[in-house]
Structure 1
Amino acid sequence: MASKSKSSVLLIYTGGTIGMVENPETGALEPFNFRHIQEHIPELKRLGHKTASISFDPPMDSSDIGPDSWAKIVRLIADNYDAYDGFVVLHGTDTMAFTASALSFMLENLNKPVILTGSQLPINMLRTDGKENLITAVEIAAAKDGSGKPVVPEVCIFFENQLMRGNRTSKINADDFNAFHSFNYPPLARAGVTIRYDEKLIYRPQLVRPLKPHYACDKNVVILKLFPGITEAVVSSVLHTPGLRGVVLETFGSGNAPTDEWFLKQFREATERGIVVVNVTQCTGGCVEMHRYEVGRKLLECGVLSGFDSTSECAVAKLMFLLGQELTPKEIREHMQCSLIGEVTL
């Protein structure tokens, strides 16, 4: 049961539709100053929690957000970690799942809620989903249990009544309010008349340690999605990209790929060059089982790693994060085969 004691929550506005308002003269959408958020969402006062806000200047479309922006968000959370009980990151929807995945790794030893949310309609429109998403995200970020501990001490996405583990979530719809889904892990909470938390699903650190923020990610990663008829020239050009260090290989079904000798040779040589290749399924749900079929076993023999039931977004963020740390190639491969923060089911 969540405690009713009042908490302090920091809102970090990066950009996106939720922070837009319509100019009454031109009709154009323009970002508003989040320091005046109470004017647009007076309902926040009724929660009774202390809220403050910090905005990216200028706000960024989420299509432009990447590792540098992730590091900026991590810095803002780390610098304000002791002053607030929880954090809400307002973010454009297009790359929200990538950011949530990255933050889950970059905020090591996190013991406070970091809730990402946004909207499909600007916050001042009559039918906006932004108000409900933001108000509930703040309530979740502020929630404490009977002993005063955070109810959800992890990085999550809240959207359209569902709280999902950030590194398990994908954007599934460009038009509906129900824009995100976690296919391989159940929602941590559902918001209806009350917010119903599923305590057994929430990630809780065994030991409470000081927050250890990380800022370095390596961008030399690519997603290679297989399709029938893919040619050796295409695969070779991707795997020989200058500086390439990691590949997320989106395969068919439970991790299957062509068995042409040229195909296997390309990946065998890539892993021998030290490139880390991670196999994830193109399917929205389910997992990679590389021992299930002969084609999967052949990829294993080439040094390709299983991504288990990881989303592509999470696999990319995890690779970037691990490659950005001072780890040996062997350590990176070992970490990719582990669940660091509940991102995969082994």
Structure 2
Amino acid sequence: MSNTPKILIVYTGGTIGMVKDYKTGALKAFDFSQISSKIPELQQLNCEISTISFDEAIDSSNMNVNYYIDIAQIIADNYEQFDGFVVLTGSDTMSYTSSAISFMFENLQKPVIFTGSQLPIGDLRTDAKENLITSIQIASTSENRKPVIQEVGLYFEYKLYRANRTTKINAEQFEAFASMNYPPLVVSGVHLNFNHPVLFKH
């Protein structure tokens, strides 16, 4: 892992990529190339952030296997250039999408963190900023020059779960996901607490 971790954000669609036009009340897609100006807190993270966005934002209701392949291909094409990946998708199908991606990669040795939000990024009470900032922070955390997370995870509301152990449990609460039969990999409090014994080891 380089001294300054390089993180690639892949935006596929979902609420996290929407901003409200306050004149009309309508939601429109957010330009992720402008992410640093929209979320200046990202500049406090010690990493280089690049972004790739799908040409057309994919709603959860339209997510399908072809898009799983597109996401996997983007990660594969950029695997050598980046130290970690944060994939933004709609929360309704995030468990399915992230689980599928986890089975599409063999010998993954870098973090692929899926996240999203219940409220758009520009909303006053949005969960988008915390989910995105912490996902990037987790993806850029290393020990002995190796990423701490070397698997596909799903981060939402202060917890990182193993992606293929998750299920969406609530559309109304910020705590939208659960992992019924496997403990969280990371719990975000004042510090990031990595649950080392349960992390995937090669």
Provide TM-score, normalisation by structure 1: 0.57
- Taking every aligned residue pair, what percent have the same amino acid on both sides? 51
Larger Rg, first or second structure (1 or 2): 1
Q: Work out the CA distance in 1 between the residues paired with 2:49 and 2:16.
A: 17
Letter in 2 for 1:101: S
Query: Residues 10 and 4 from structure 1, CA distance in 2 versus in 1: closer, same or farther, beyond 3 angstroms?
Result: closer
Q: Does 1:29 align with 2:21?
A: no
164, 167, 188: which one pairs with 1:167?
Answer: 164
141, 146, 154: which one pairs with 2:151?
Answer: 154
Provide TM-score, normalisation by structure 2: 0.98
CA drift of 1:6 comes to 2.5
Q: Which runs of 5+ in 2 are unaligned?
A: none
CA offset digits 1:124-161 (Å, max 9, x no partner): 1111000000000000111101x111100000000000
Q: Work out the CA distance in 2 between the residues paired with 1:204 and 1:44.
A: 29
CA drift of 1:4 comes to 11
Is this contact kept in 2: 1:4–1:144, CA < 8 A? no
Q: Does 1:130 align with 2:128?
A: yes
Is this contact kept in 2: 1:4–1:143, CA < 8 A? no
Q: Work out the CA distance in 2 between the residues paired with 1:140 and 1:23.
A: 31
Moved beyond 6 Å, runs of 4+? none
Q: Which runs of 5+ in 1 are unaligned?
A: 206-346
CA offset digits 1:158-213 (Å, max 9, x no partner): 000001000000000001000000000000110000000011100121xxxxxxxx
Q: Work out the CA distance in 2 between the residues paired with 1:77 and 1:4.
A: 18
- Matched ranges for 1:78-97 at <5 A: 78-97=76-95
Equivalent residue, structure 2, for 1:49: 47
CA drift of 1:5 comes to 4.5
Equivalent residue, structure 2, for 1:16: 14
Equivalent residue, structure 1, for 2:114: 116
Q: Does 1:197 align with 2:197?
A: no
Is this contact kept in 1: 2:68–2:97, CA < 8 A? yes
Letter in 2 for 1:12: V
- SS of residue paired to 1:133: helix
- SS of residue paired to 1:82: coil
CA drift of 1:24 comes to 2.1
User: Larger deviation: 134-143 or 20-29?
Assistant: 20-29
Equivalent residue, structure 2, for 1:181: 178
CA offset digits 1:9-58 (Å, max 9, x no partner): 00000000000000122110111111011121111111021000000111
Q: Work out the CA distance in 2 between the residues paired with 1:168 and 1:161.
A: 16
- SS of residue paired to 2:9: strand
Q: Work out the CA distance in 1 between the residues paired with 2:91 and 2:123.
A: 17
Higher strand share: 2
